[in-house]
Amino acid sequence: MIRRQRPKLPTFTVLAVLGLGFGLAGCASTNQSPEPPPPPPVAQPLPPSFPPQNLVGSYGLAAYHKDEDRPRTEAAAVNQCRQPYVITMGPTGGVMMHLADQPTPTELRVKGAVGGKDFIGPAEDPPGGALDREVVQFDGRLLILRFVDPEVHGRYGSMVYVRCPAEGVKRPRPRTAAKPAAKPAAARPAAARPAPAPVQPPIQR
């Protein structure tokens, strides 16, 4: 049985075909633009450590820049209850407060974050956003907030809110040390009675 042999292609033809294939593959890889990296995951707010309605009330407001000025600032905030800063509930469950450099209040959310932190800021921003304020302390009476934006914090400092007493209730005055009771005066000696006048004897005749 006679086998037919296939005609062999010249060597230069094979090399040309291979070169064309590699060239097309290179063009295809060059024309494909690299895919952009996926966006970083957005931190989802966690439940805060206190409900927003706990913030509702009237506060004396002051601010400090140095930690050593905090006690003096708290005392100054108490005196501002003559013109209190009022926090109310918003229409959708937030609290009505002012953002930095804004003349009118905005509804803000109390947002929990990892590590037990709490932030107050716009609902659409993740916890710790540029417009947020971190809750440094809140015990129901004293609220201290720190702006997240370093530039804003440098201008305003840490905000101190001291809850004002209810209307008609006087602020408790600091207690003073009780004065020691006065010692009783020493008993004075009874005044000496005057001696009786001498009786004149009867005249003898």
Higher pLDDT, 204 or 96: 96
CA distance 171 to 166: 9
Q: Which helix (H) or strand (E) holds 183?
A: none
pLDDT of residue 101: 94
pLDDT above 60: residue 138: yes
Classified as helix, coil or strand, 11 is helix
What are the Cα distances from residue 62, in Å, to 39, 65, 82, 124, 157? 40, 11, 13, 28, 10
Burial class (CB in 10 A: 0-12, 13-18, 19+), 127: buried
Parallel/antiparallel/unpaired status of strands 95-97 and 118-121 = unpaired
pLDDT of residue 45: 73
At a CB cut-off of 8 Å and minimum separation 6, what does 90 contact? 96, 107, 108
Burial class (CB in 10 A: 0-12, 13-18, 19+), 76: middle
pTM of the model: 0.63
SS3 sequence, 21-73?
HHHHHHHHHHHCCCCCCCCCCCCCCECCCCCHHHHCEEEEEEEECCHHHHHHH
The model's pLDDT over 95-109, given as tens digits with 9 standing for 90+, comes to: 999 999 999 999 999
The model's pLDDT over 20-30, given as tens digits with 9 standing for 90+, comes to: 454 545 554 55
pLDDT of residue 176: 44
pLDDT of residue 17: 45
Give residue limits of the domains in the chain.
57-163
Cα–Cα nearest to 152, from 192, 114, 101: 101
Angle (CA) 135-140-142 rounded to 5° is 60
Higher pLDDT, 29 or 144: 144
The model's pLDDT over 76-127, given as tens digits with 9 standing for 90+, comes to: 999 999 999 999 999 999 999 999 999 999 999 999 999 999 999 999 999 9
pLDDT of residue 205: 41
Q: State mean pLDDT over 147-158.
A: 97
Higher pLDDT, 134 or 37: 134
CA distance 120 to 129: 10
**Contact 109/119 with Cβ under 8 angstroms?**
no
Cα–Cα nearest to 45, from 109, 110, 113: 113
Token output for 121:
């800021």
Higher pLDDT, 168 or 103: 103
What are the Cα distances from residue 180, in Å, to 5, 174, 175, 185, 200? 130, 19, 15, 15, 58
